[in-house]
Amino acid sequence: MRLALFADIHANRQAFAACLDAARARGAERLVCLGDIVGYGADPEWAVDTVMDLVADGALAVRGNHDHAIGMPSDSMNDDATAAIDWTRGRLNAEQKSFLAGLPLQRDDDNRLYVHSEASDPARWRYVRDTADAARSMMATGLRITFCGHIHRPGLYSMSSAAKMTSFVPTSGIAVQLLTGRRWLAVLGSVGQPRDGDPAASFAMFDTDSREITYLRVPYDMETAAARIRANGLPHWLADRLLIGR
């Protein structure tokens, strides 16, 4: 079965629509949303409605820290993020808010774990920045493959049977087989606000039969996405950063 995995959509309609099209063109059979559907971007209603429809059709979704902050304001967010969350809260209706609040922190599915931040303590929203962070997450789950997001930069970690770690920055479009002899942590890039220097939207496909993961980059209409952020009075940096991927 071919999975399409999306993390950190962040209410970026243009980016998410482009990624969904690309995933369908590649024959995606099941969609997985790894959290942070809202925050930063200017189309939270559309983003939440879209994910709700996908979930109704069998997609899996977990809750991210921005989704969580809609119902439970966070004091650890920076000013821009807080401003965007406050604005977003005013845009969502009760049904949309309750959908976000009701998302699980993690889901597992046939020896795979889906979580927004990492597995050792999902509600603490820690980042996976290096092999030490990855090892902590991998030690906390018995499942062979973990998919997460949160840091907005793609990364692929593995742990051998002797607990040796490897890290790798995946190349777009190149399938990597997740060998059965080791455990894997796949950190997805961000659909709606990439921060690895490439402004193109990021998602991944995973083939459960061949165990191959393919990270992909999708060009999208970032000018419109940025213009909508400015037009809605959100902090301008949230628009500017889309154009540079930082």
Partner 1 sequence: MAALKMQPGAEIDGFTVGEQVHRGGMATLWTVTHPGINVPLLMKVPLVSEGEDPAAIVSFEMEQMILPRLSGPHVPACFGTGDFERQAYVVMERIPGQTLYKRLGELPLPYDEARAIAGKVAAALASLHRQNVIHHDIKPSSVMFRGHGEAVLIDFGLSHHKHLPDLLQEEFRLPFGTAPYMAPERLLGVRDDPRSDLFSLGVLLYFFTTGERPFGESETLRGMRRRLWRDPYPPRCLREDYPLWLQEIVLRCLEIDPAARYPTAAQLAFDLAHPDQVKLTARSRRLTRDSIATVWRRRFNLGAVQPQPKSDVAAQLASSPIVMVALDIAEGSDALDEAIRVTAERVMSTSPSARLACVNVLKLNRLAIDRTLDEQGQNKHVDRLVALQHWARPFRLEDNRLTVHVLEAIDPAAALLEFAAVNLVDHIIIGARQNSMMRALLGSVSAKVASEAPCTVTVVRPSRLTVQDESEGTAEQDDASAVTPPGMF
Nearest to 213 by CA among 234, 245, 181, 187: 187
Of 1 and 169, the one with the shorter C-beta distance to partner 1 is 169
Q: Of residues 165, 198, 230, 246, which one binds partner 1 by CB under 8 A?
A: 165
Contacting range for partner 1; rule: CB under 8 A; set: 16-24, 106-114, 173-181, 221-229: 173-181
Cβ 115 to partner 1 shortest distance, Å? 21
Q: What angle do CA 46, 38, 246 make, to 5 degrees?
A: 115
Report d(CA 204, CA 185) in Å as an integer.
13
Of 170 and 192, the one with the shorter C-beta distance to partner 1 is 170
Contacting range for partner 1; rule: CB under 8 A; set: 31-39, 167-175, 188-196, 238-246: 167-175
Hey, which residues between 176 and 195 contact partner 1 (CB under 8 A)?
176-177, 179-182
Q: Using CB atoms within 10 Å of the CB of residue 164, give its burial: 0 to 12 exposed, 13 to 18 middle, 19+ buried.
A: exposed
Is 146 near partner 1 (CB under 8 A)? no
What is the identity of the amino acid at 232?
N
Helical packing angle, 222-231 and 236-244, nearest 10°:
170
Residues near partner 1 (CB under 8 A) are: 131, 156, 158, 160-162, 164-168, 170-171, 174, 176-177, 179-182
